[in-house]
Every structure is written in C-alpha cells, then in structure tokens.
C-alpha cells in the first residue's frame, strides 16, 4: 500500500515537471517564382526564425506564388500568414486602386518591414529591334502574369510612352518562363520587376541569343514618377550580368520589396519574425546579394499599410520607431 502510494506520487510529480510540449505555429510566406529574389527572401526570413523554433514555437515555410498581388490577396483571405509584395502594390491595395479598384481599400492589410530595392527590368533580344520602350510597338512582349507585381508596372511604362497592352503583342506568362521563351525566339522582350542580381535575368542573358537590358528613361518616366509617389529612379548594375551586351549600367524605375501580413495574424508571431530579422541583421544581409545596400532605416521606409502591432512592439523597444512613418502607427 505504502509502495503504491509512493509510485503514484512519483508519477504525479513526473507529470507535473514534464514541460508541456509547446504548440507549434506554422506560418507560410508567399513569395514569387523560384528564379526571382522573393523566393530566396522568404527562405532567408524562414531560416532566421526557424533557428529559434524552440524559443518561439514557430515553424515558417515558403511558397512559390504568382507574385505581389497574389500574395496580398492570399494574406487578406488568411490563406497565407505573410507575403512579399512590391511597395507600389501595397500602396494600391491600401488605397483601393489597380487590381483592388472594385473591392476598395483593403483595411486588414498590415506592413511588417521593407526589404530590397527592385527595378522594372525590360530585357530584349538583341536582334528584335527593341532598343527603347517605344520600339516595343507590335513586338511580342511578356508583360507579366495576373497576380504578379510587374503586370501593372509594364502597363504604366507602356502607357507613359503612349503605348498600351493592345499596341504590343502581349503575353501574360510567369516570369520564370520568360527567359526560356526569349531564348527560343518566341518572345522579343519581357518585363520583370525584380531585385538584382537574380537567376532569372542571368538565365535570360546567358543563352545562345544575345540580349540586352533596355533603359526606361526620358521625360515620360519623369512624368510617371511625378504622378505616382511609389515610383523612383533606379539603376541596374550591369556587372551583375556580364554576358548581357550592355556596356553601361541601365537606368530604370524602382520600387521596394516589402513584407506584409494581416491584422488577423497574432502579435507574438509578427513580433518574433520582426525581432529576429532585425537582431540578426548582418546575418540576414549575407543571405542574398540584393540585400547588400540595406540599412535598418531603409527597411522602415516604403510602407503604406498600418504597421502590424507585433512589429511596432519591436520598433518601440529597439528605438527604431523614430524611423517609422507616424501615419502608419494606428
Ligand atoms: N516583383 C515581382 C512580383 O511582385 C516578384 C519578384 C521576385 O520574385 O523577386 O511579382
């Protein structure tokens, strides 16, 4: 009897001290095509947070998707917890323009931080006759898949030069397919809004067909930038693509990649991801050459949606809040 009592006590004690296995929170980050920069960026963020999975109980995974617009919409429906999206697309979702025109302002969208700069990249086969935006008229041009960030950028650039998707022979395929189509001579040119360097443009420039990056410059561009606050001038360093036939760096129009989430995602999860990326900033920067120019301050510029309270908690405790646009603190 005494013995059974001791065993029972011992069992009870063992149960009491066994730590409750922490519930795992699974989060998925929507990215882009596997040859772009969003996909490895999702990988970089996941890697940083998964290293602390014991501490936070978070397991992050990455999904290859159609791009910015797809990611914003999937975050809003709750199909994804996080998504990478162009700063211009974030602005449009918040203001209910472009793809969100008929659905109005997307109130649940929240920003976490900005990431690398992206350039509207126009690339053409050397013998296609495409030397500038105007000469795209009548050419076979991939302007971007529905769901991508670049689709609206291509339309804006064409529009700035008095062209439209109707004045080119427009294709709407995913960026991942475009280099192969260009090299197979089934496309004359394609647009891709992307950070540099990336595997997609390397692939497009290193095949049998000679190709060049086409500058997007001139007074129509100045007007476009004056009209839309989310566009800025950018330069693509041609050293990234030694087999392209360009001799000089390529001037273009730029936006920023940003990380977005929904107001429905918990503060703890957003706090943990924000904190780990910023506290391991030097390690994060080494994960992709497109981040080489990044500063913490840059990562707090270019957002349009209210900052998620979980991210804000970290910006407050780290003092970085001074760089956050006050209008985004709700
Ligand atoms: N900017 C592209 C988009 O929003 C994706 C670029 C990338 O995957 O790096 O669709």
Residues 139 and 217 in one domain: yes
pLDDT of res. 330: 87
- The tokens for 290 are 């497109």
- The tokens for 121 are 């990249």
| Percent above pLDDT 70 for the chain | 93
Count: domains in the chain: 2
pLDDT of res. 57: 97
Q: What are phi and psi of 210, to 5 degrees?
A: -75, 140
DSSP 8-class letter at 214: P
Domain boundary among 255, 271, 306: 255
Q: Quick one: CA dihedral 234, 175, 126, 161, positive or negative?
A: negative
Q: What is the pLDDT of residues 247-275, one digit of tens each?
A: 999 999 999 999 999 999 999 999 999 99
Whether 108 is in a domain gets the answer: yes
DSSP 8-class letter at 82: E
Whether 4 is in a domain gets the answer: no
Which atom of ligand 1 is least distant from the CA of 39?
8
Which atom of ligand 1 is least distant from the CA of 148?
10
Residues 126 and 209 in one domain: yes
How far does the centroid of ligand 1 lie from the alpha carbon of residue 5, in Å?
65
Domain boundary among 255, 280, 314: 255
Whether 62 is in a domain gets the answer: yes
Residues 190 and 260 in one domain: no
Domain interval for residue 80: 23-117+256-328
How far does the centroid of ligand 1 lie from the alpha carbon of residue 86, in Å?
7
Are the C-beta atoms of 33 and 200 separated by less than 8 Å?
A: yes
pTM of the model: 0.93
Residues 76 and 177 in one domain: no
How far does the centroid of ligand 1 lie from the alpha carbon of residue 3, in Å?
68
> What CATH number corresponds to the domain at position 186?
3.40.190.10
Are the C-beta atoms of 148 and 119 separated by less than 8 Å?
A: no
Domain boundary among 255, 280, 303: 255
What is the residue-wise DSSP string for 190-230? Answer: EEEEE-SS-HHHHHHHSSSS-EEEPP--SHHHHHHHHH-TT
Residues 132 and 281 in one domain: no
Q: How far apart are CA 3 and CA 7, in angstroms?
A: 6
Residues 143 and 237 in one domain: yes
Whether 1 is in a domain gets the answer: no
What angle separates helix 219-227 from helix 150-160, to the nearest 10 degrees? 130
Residues 245 and 274 in one domain: no
Which atom of ligand 1 is least distant from the CA of 35?
8
Whether 17 is in a domain gets the answer: no
How far does the centroid of ligand 1 lie from the alpha carbon of residue 319, in Å?
31
Residues 300 and 284 in one domain: yes
């Amino acid at each position: 009897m005494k013995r059974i009592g001791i065993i029972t006590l011992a069992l009870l004690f063992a149960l009491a001290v066994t730590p409750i296995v922490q519930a795992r929170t699974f989060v998925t980050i929507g990215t882009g095509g596997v040859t772009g920069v969003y996909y490895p960026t999702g990988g970089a963020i996941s890697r940083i947070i998964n290293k602390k999975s014991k501490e936070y109980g978070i397991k992050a995974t990455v999904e290859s998707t159609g791009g910015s617009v797809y990611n914003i919409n999937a975050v809003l429906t709750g199909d994804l917890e996080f998504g990478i999206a162009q700063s211009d697309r974030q602005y449009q979702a918040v203001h209910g323009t472009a793809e969100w025109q008929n659905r109005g302002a997307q109130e649940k969208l929240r920003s976490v931080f900005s990431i690398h700069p992206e350039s509207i990249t126009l690339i053409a086969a050397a013998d296609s006759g495409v030397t500038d935006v105007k000469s795209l008229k009548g050419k076979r041009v991939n302007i971007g898949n529905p769901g991508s960030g670049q689709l609206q950028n291509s339309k804006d650039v064409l529009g700035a030069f008095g062209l439209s998707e109707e004045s080119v022979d427009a294709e709407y395929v995913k960026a991942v397919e475009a280099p192969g189509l260009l090299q197979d001579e089934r496309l004359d040119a394609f647009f891709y809004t992307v950070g540099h360097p990336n595997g997609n443009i390397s692939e497009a420039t290193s095949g049998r067909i000679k190709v060049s990056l086409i500058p997007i410059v001139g007074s129509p561009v100045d007007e476009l930038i004056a009209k839309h606050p989310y566009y800025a001038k950018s330069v693509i360093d041609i050293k990234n693509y030694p087999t392209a036939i360009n001799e000089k760096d390529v001037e273009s129009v730029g936006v920023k990649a940003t990380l977005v989430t929904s107001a429905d995602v918990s503060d703890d999860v957003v706090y943990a991801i924000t904190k780990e990326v910023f506290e391991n900033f030097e390690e994060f920067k080494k994960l992709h050459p497109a981040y080489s120019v990044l500063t913490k301050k840059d990562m707090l510029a270019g957002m349009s949606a209210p900052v998620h309270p979980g991210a804000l908690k970290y910006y407050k405790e780290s003092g970085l809040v001074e760089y956050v646009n006050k209008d985004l603190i709700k």
